[in-house]
Amino acid sequence: MRILIIITFIFSFDVLADVIIVPPSDNAQERIQEALILANPGDEVHLTSGTYSIEDGLSLDIDNIILSGEGHENTILDFTNQMTGAQGLLVTSNEVMLKDFAIINTKGDAIKAIGSDGIYFINLRTEWTGGPKSSNGAYGLYPVQSKDVLIDGCIAIGASDAGIYVGQSENIIVRNSRAEFNVAGIEIENSYYADVYNNIAQHNTGGILVFDLPDLPQQGGHHVRVFNNQILDNDTDNFAPEGNIVGEVPRGTGIIIMANSDVEIFDNDISGNGTMNIAIVSYSYEEAINATDYYPHPRGIQVHDNRLSNSGFNPDMDKEIAAIVKGLAKQTMPDIFWDGVLPLSQMIFGQPNEDRLVLMDNVDSSFMAIKPIQYMLSIPNPVTRDSIDFRGNIKPLDAVTIDLPSRYND
């Protein structure tokens, strides 16, 4: 075995752990893969500076491993010539930390973690270096069906679906990260308890999406806080392959909330988004009709204390939702839009109080909601533009906390 085991050190709980160092080489894939299979729980696999050219996907299935590099500009796993593997790196184990390296130009997703209980992405970069293209892989950072997901200080560029995508997961923090030139910058889908803060989402098609979709093992996405983010100038044409839900996202959308419950959007700077800054919509596709245990409408959405400006100047008329809003909004596109779609009984008799959309103190924002019954009956001007009707008391959602294993707290 040509892997050098050169450093051992002692953790606070007296377990001997190895640092297995893998330098770049001609057969880097085999060397790294071998290390990731032969490592013992508690070990660190360390990739030194340099570019590793890799043809076959890597995978990690051992708990409590650190896979580290020497910075996302220095340790680069280059999959430009990838021959096999639906992703660059697949993680299927628990309490895994990935930090300080880059994965570029994978054929499919860059890093996927499935079923991980404790997965920590720290200071990573995932990028397709040829700019936005539909031939780019779908996701940059892609934890799914995972618990205790931490994404901190990462950069995601050029994904043909979402740069940072957290799906069907629970207890999630996405912070201090930058997502740009993706179709969706950051997407939280079918997930429970997520905090998304201190991020920059710019030059994507849509900045931050909070979605819930039917017919999945985990649905009923709820309790998501999106705060203190910069969601700016999302001006890239939608380049998602058709058939994917994000293919419907209009260029120039800041935030879209679709069919989620209990979402709090606050203290964000949202500006320069040519279609609109915030859209709150139902999942209005026919699939929702027969779906079991699925609620297709947003409820318990609170939008407050955001700084909104400069939107609607170039709506993406190729996308249905943008065309509808533009058609109804006439000259003034709204910063905040709600499609108003509710279960029929609620459209007639009103929503339960706790389900109502609440809008408070969104500086300089304009608003529009569709009145769906009037809309369906083709009554002229079936909208309301008055956000005063949506004032209410903010009920702050609890913060998400993730307890890192003690060895990761340094």
**Could you list the residues that contact another protein (CB under 8 A)?**
30, 33-34, 36-38, 55-57, 59-61, 82-86, 90, 92, 106-109, 114-115, 134-135, 137-139, 142, 144-145, 160-161, 165, 167-168, 213, 215-217, 241-245, 285, 287, 290
Residue (33 or 261) nearer to another protein, CB: 33
Q: How many CA atoms lie within 13 A of 406 on its CB side?
A: 5
Closest CB 34 distance from another protein, rounded Å? 4
Provide, for the chain, the percentages of residues in helix, strand and coil under a 3-state DSSP scheme, each rounded to the nearest 5: 10, 40, 45
State the residue for tokens 């309790």: 223
End-to-end alpha-carbon separation of the chain, Å?
Answer: 31
We find the least distance from the C-beta atom of residue 161 to another protein, in angstroms, to be: 5
The residue among 107 and 178 lying less far from another protein, judged by its C-beta, is: 107
Cβ distance 141 to 159 under 8 Å?
no
Shorter beta-carbon distance to another protein: residue 31 or 225: 31
Residue at 30: amino acid letter: E
Nearer to another protein, 82 or 268 (CB): 82
Amino acid at 207: G
Closest CA to 166 of 140, 128, 127: 140
- Comparing CB distances to another protein, the nearer of 184 and 369 is 184
* Placement of tokens 């999942």 in the chain: 283
Residue closest to 294 by CA, chosen among 340, 264, 261: 261
CB-based contact 334:368 (threshold 8 Å): yes
Looking at the Cβ atoms of 189 and 335, the one nearer to another protein is: 189
Nearest-angstrom CA–CA distance, 40 and 137: 31
Q: Is residue 314 a contact partner of residue 275, using CB atoms and an 8 Å limit?
A: yes
Strand partners, 189: 167, 211
**Residue 363 per-residue DSSP state:** B
Shortest distance (Å) from residue 404 CB to another protein: 23
Smallest distance from another protein to CB 141, Å: 13
Cα–Cα dist 378/381, whole Å: 9
Closest CB 286 distance from another protein, rounded Å: 9
Q: How far is the CB of 119 from another protein (least distance, A)?
A: 15
Side chain identity, residue 119: I
- For another protein, the closer of residues 192 and 367 by Cβ is 192
32/108 Cα distance (integer angstroms): 19
CB of 19 or CB of 114, closer to another protein: 114
